[in-house]
Structure 1
Amino acid sequence: MSDDLNPVENMRKVRFNSIWLVPLIALIVAAWMLYQNWSSQGPVITLVAANADGLEVGKTKLKSRNVDVGRVIDIRLSEDYENAVIQVRMNQGTDQMLKQDAQFWVVKPRIGKEGVSGLGTLLSGAYIDMTPGESGDIQTRFTILDQPPLAMENEGIRVKLVSLKGAKLDVGAPVHFRGYEVGYIENVGFDANRKAITYQLVIRSPYDALVNSAVQFWVTPGVSFKSSASGFEFSFDSLETFLSGGISFSLPIGRPAGDTVADLSEFQLFDSKESADNQVYDEFIEYVFLFDANLSGLYPGAAVEFRGVRIGTVMEVPFSGISMTSLSKLDTPVIPVLARIEPQRLNTPDMPDVMSLSQWNAMLEDRMEKGLRASLVIGNYLNAAKVISLDFMDTPSPIRWREFEGYDVFPTAPNSLANIESKISLMLDNLAQVPLQKTFNQLGNTMSEVDTTLQRLQQVSDSVRKLVDKSETQQIPADLSAAIRELNQTLETYQADGLIGQPLRQNLVSLDRALNELQPLLRQLRENPNRLIFDSKPKVDIQPRAAQ
């Protein structure tokens, strides 16, 4: 019987080959890895962003507190092509992080309120960061924030600011009190009705006690350069403020603290501290100054001074409240300037006698009658900034306007520069009246006479030169020298040791000796002149008496 007819024996010949164990083990391992991968994966979430700058499929990670919790698996455009749709595969056990208040943002190099951040992504690339949600239902679709979220403090106070001037500040910019950071900008908006930028600030506790109804807020620029009548001012704030700007607030000097304010109270945001300080003076008297002068260098915010003391502020240059039609009807071309006198700059709350506005108004009216006038003066010659100066004039011009189109007018006078210009103009006019042509003609005649005189002097000089060059003239010095030598020889004979001088000296000595010898004889003749004729009697010697 053949082998095909014996199946039992054929089955005995079939043996198990060990080579089949290799693919079997590989299959088991692959199945196990697939199971492990599937069991370790979390849900797939969808993130919507304005763009996918810096994100890559399979490389970009999703982190929370610098721990990997997912990875980008797909990036595509939305159906309306307006946004980027990013799909992220979360790790296992991250379901509870995906609650409604979870926040996502892209970490990359940024310059913000905390300085420069995200420099580590220059080498590793951008990644997506998140803060786990704490409340709400679990979701799988979120929107990526444009900026990293701020740490929100529950304690403190929120205030609202309205800015009519200045540039926009960013969310997260710091809020300072006397240079110390006490809060930040939480939200920025725009009020279309008031055409103003609105800010919502968070003042952290316990610094919220510094906010009251009397404080003022102003923009703190990182770097500022200002030119005014006081000079050039340059200030540099902190690096943080330099990068993102900021807001400062404080209580004005000399002003008492106000009442406690409620949450979301509204304040005005000024563009500078100077503007904020000027708004403290809420009691003022407005005047219109009609200047017949050049207003270059006079700007809003300039000072109104009385003999160097600031008493007011310039508000508008030129003042638009007065129509140009009314000004064109005047016989003198003038430019209106709106300024105000602020008595509170001189009235302090601790003064016993504080004048009211009506008293100040009456006093100013009286001083105007006595010669108080306003003029433009240069406050700083480096930048030609001008201020309005009030002072009394010796010969004031008469007051032409008390009121103009409903506004009180402050009388003005020509400024010092105008006086200088008028004096220079008068000097030039007088100079023009000088007979310059006649003077120049006389000067020409004089120059001709001088030229003739110089020619004659030249002729005389030539004659003297010819006379000196003659041999006879050159002989004169030799003859004169010989005469001088002969004179010296003659004088030497009359000297003490000379031929004539020595005998003369001896004779004088003999004569002096003879005169000395004749002195007694001459003295006797003076006493008794007849002695030359009669002999003198001999005198008897006196005999002394003997003692008794």
Structure 2
Amino acid sequence: MSTPNEDPDLPAAEPVPRSRWRMQLVWLVPIVAILIGGWLAVKAVMERGEQITITFMTGDGLEAGKTKLKFKDVDIGVVEAVSLTPDHKRVVAKAEVTRDVSDLLVDNTRFWVVRPRISGGTVSGLGTLLSGSYIDVDVGNSEKARRSFVGLEEPPVIASDIPGHEYTLHGVGLGSLDAGTPIFFRRIQVGQVASYKLDPDGRGVTVKVFVNAPYDRFVKTDTRFWHASGVDMSLDSSGVRVQSQSIVSIIIGGVAFESPPDSQVETSADSNTPFELYGTRDEAMKMHDRLIDKYVINFTDSVRGLTVGAPVDFRGIEVGEVTAIYTRFDPVKRRFSTPVEINLYPERFTSRYENDGAGGRVTTDRRGLANYLVANGFRFQLRSGNVLTGQQYVAVDVFPDAAKATIDWSKTPPEMPAVPRALQSLQDSVTRLLTRLNSIPFQDIGNDARSTLRTTNAMIAQLNTQVVPKASNTLQSAQTTLDSANAALQPDSSLQQSTEDAMRELTRTAVSLRTLADYLSQHPESLVRGKSEEKKP
């Protein structure tokens, strides 16, 4: 029986039981949010960069969350935290580097804080005055990955990707060199000083230099490096010489290199090839001799002006140098002398231009040759190289008139004979002359001279009193005789008239004799017959 409210056209409702696991629509939003959050978390983990630590001496310029890491001026990371090491001696910067540059984190990658600096005559990091300091990166070439680094306190002078070669120089002192100091080749800047350090024994310094390509091909195995710092002024026996590389080297110094003028080497030096760092160009360009003979010369005259390094000269050619100067007292002769040690280079007495390069070679028996030369007047002598500066040098030459001498081979080094310089010889001659003059008894000679003068004065007095009056009478008589003679020789004197008459008579007599002679020559018979009378016509 149906009720009046029921619609016979509608189906009857059937009750359905409710499921216990049916999700309500209200839970859909939290689930989506969780999924998105999980995806973002996974993405953040997947995109998170590499974590590295960099240790520095100080935290100057480091600030967590602000200090950037840059490579070629592109941001590749940021410093996340700055803390101290457990021993409180260093600073550790924890940084995050983007994953796409993680391959740059190799064993020899370098990090340093960029801040304003003045080094080696260059100014860097001025842009950080406005933008703040940042950590710069120089990527290495190692294949070994690394995540913990020790930062540099100074920026590297040479980047890893710059072509060229690095060389090692050993010198006595650093001079005015610094990291970034320029390297010159024929006064052109071709590189920089990369670093320097004191040798472990403290006797010198080791300097790393970098020569840029293509100039590195000019560094040969026999190339010489020297200090080109400022103005190189030298004062020696040759006078005053001034050399410099450029205005830059005058201000900040530098290093120059060049091969010897007669170099035949064509092979370029490899990286890290060691070289000697000389003080001056003259020292660097000196001939490096293989044979060195050491001798000592015992001078008795003054060596003022002679210095260590002074040349040993043979007729204008430098064949050695002075290495030491001492003072010696001879207890036997009881006098002082000055031994001078020298290095003599026998190869400089040769000539490669004779006999196809084989002529003029020094014999292997150098001792026998030295004995022969000394026996024939080979001697050493001090000479003045420059009158203005007073510098001296040791000259070696042949003195034929030198006293006989030999080499004392029993001493180490052997002692060579010397001759005094010309001025010293003159001084010795003057000294000997003065000695002889001092031996003359000038006082006795003076006494004798005074006695002679007294005798002479007495004789003069006697002459004045006795001889002079008689001489005066004699002179008067002579004057009277002369006056008579002059009167007799006058033209109007009787003597003159008589003389003229006599001369006329002699002339008439000569004419008569000549007439007689002519007649006799024509009539010789008249000597017998007499003079015949002439016939009258």
Deviation at 1:46, TM superposition (A): 3.5
Deviation at 1:272, TM superposition (A): 3.1
Cα distance change of structure 1 residues 367 and 43 upon mapping to structure 2, 3 Å threshold = closer
Does structure 1 retain, via aligned residues, the 8 Å contact 2:164–2:211?
Answer: yes
Cα distance change of structure 1 residues 44 and 339 upon mapping to structure 2, 3 Å threshold = same
Does structure 1 retain, via aligned residues, the 8 Å contact 2:139–2:160?
Answer: no
2:362 paired residue among 340, 357, 360: 357
CA separation in 1, counterparts of 2:118 and 2:426? 55
Q: Which residue of 1 aligns with 2:463?
A: none
CA separation in 1, counterparts of 2:104 and 2:292? 60
Q: Does 1:334 align with 2:337?
A: yes
CA separation in 2, counterparts of 1:94 and 1:259? 40
Q: Does 1:118 align with 2:121?
A: no
Cα distance change of structure 1 residues 97 and 296 upon mapping to structure 2, 3 Å threshold = same
Does structure 1 retain, via aligned residues, the 8 Å contact 2:224–2:258?
Answer: yes
CA separation in 2, counterparts of 1:175 and 1:291? 44
Q: Does 1:373 align with 2:376?
A: no
CA separation in 1, counterparts of 2:162 and 2:434? 77
Provide, for residues 195-239 of structure 1, a one-character-per-residue CA deviation record: whole Å limited to 9, x for no partner. Answer: 554455555555554444444344443442322112223323235
CA separation in 2, counterparts of 1:51 and 1:424? 77
Secondary structure at 2:414 match in 1: strand
Q: Which residue of 2 aligns with 1:283?
A: 291
Cα distance change of structure 1 residues 317 and 60 upon mapping to structure 2, 3 Å threshold = farther
CA separation in 1, counterparts of 2:129 and 2:426? 66
Deviation at 1:348, TM superposition (A): 4.3
The letter of the residue matching 1:290 is N
CA separation in 2, counterparts of 1:200 and 1:89? 33
1:317 paired residue among 309, 317, 325: 325
Deviation at 1:178, TM superposition (A): 3.4
Deviation at 1:144, TM superposition (A): 1.5
Question: When the two structures are superposed, what TM-score results if normalisation uses the length of structure 2?
Answer: 0.58
CA separation in 2, counterparts of 1:59 and 1:253? 57
Cα distance change of structure 1 residues 110 and 418 upon mapping to structure 2, 3 Å threshold = farther
How many pairs were matched up? Answer: 396
1:229 paired residue among 214, 233, 237: 237
Deviation at 1:402, TM superposition (A): 3.5
Cα distance change of structure 1 residues 236 and 344 upon mapping to structure 2, 3 Å threshold = same
Cα distance change of structure 1 residues 266 and 103 upon mapping to structure 2, 3 Å threshold = closer
Deviation at 1:303, TM superposition (A): 1.0
Cα distance change of structure 1 residues 258 and 312 upon mapping to structure 2, 3 Å threshold = farther
Cα distance change of structure 1 residues 415 and 137 upon mapping to structure 2, 3 Å threshold = closer
Deviation at 1:313, TM superposition (A): 1.9
1:407 paired residue among 405, 413, 437: 413
Deviation at 1:396, TM superposition (A): 2.8
Q: Which residue of 2 aligns with 1:142?
A: 149
Cα distance change of structure 1 residues 236 and 123 upon mapping to structure 2, 3 Å threshold = farther
CA separation in 2, counterparts of 1:72 and 1:210? 44
Deviation at 1:387, TM superposition (A): 0.6
Point out where structure 2 has 5 or more consecutive residues left out of the alignment: 1-36, 447-537
Q: Does 1:107 align with 2:82?
A: no
CA separation in 1, counterparts of 2:423 and 2:201? 46
Q: Which residue of 1 aligns with 2:73?
A: 66
Does structure 2 retain, via aligned residues, the 8 Å contact 1:105–1:144?
Answer: yes
CA separation in 2, counterparts of 1:56 and 1:422? 84
Q: Does 1:386 align with 2:389?
A: no
CA separation in 1, counterparts of 2:71 and 2:161? 20
Q: Which moved more, 1:380-389 or 1:104-113?
A: 104-113
Point out where structure 1 has 5 or more consecutive residues left out of the alignment: 1-30, 439-548
Cα RMSD (Å): 4.7
Cα distance change of structure 1 residues 269 and 133 upon mapping to structure 2, 3 Å threshold = closer
Provide, for residues 316-362 of structure 1, a one-character-per-residue CA deviation record: whole Å limited to 9, x for no partner. Answer: 3349xxxx69x656644222222233354454433336322238776
Cα distance change of structure 1 residues 253 and 148 upon mapping to structure 2, 3 Å threshold = same
Does structure 1 retain, via aligned residues, the 8 Å contact 2:350–2:362?
Answer: no
Question: What does 1:302-313 correspond to in 2, within 5 Å?
Answer: 302-313=310-321
CA separation in 1, counterparts of 2:224 and 2:108? 35
Q: Which residue of 1 aligns with 2:33?
A: none
CA separation in 2, counterparts of 1:278 and 1:328? 40
Question: What does 1:70-469 correspond to in 2, within 5 Å?
Answer: 74-88=81-95, 98=105, 100-112=107-119, 115-121=122-128, 126-131=133-138, 141-149=148-156, 150-152=158-160, 159-163=167-171, 165-167=172-174, 170=178, 173-182=181-190, 188=196, 192=200, 197-199=205-207, 206-238=214-246, 241=249, 245-257=253-265, 264-318=272-326, 331-345=334-348, 347-352=350-355, 354-358=359-363, 365-393=371-399, 396-399=402-405, 401-416=407-422, 418-419=424-425
CA separation in 2, counterparts of 1:88 and 1:285? 64
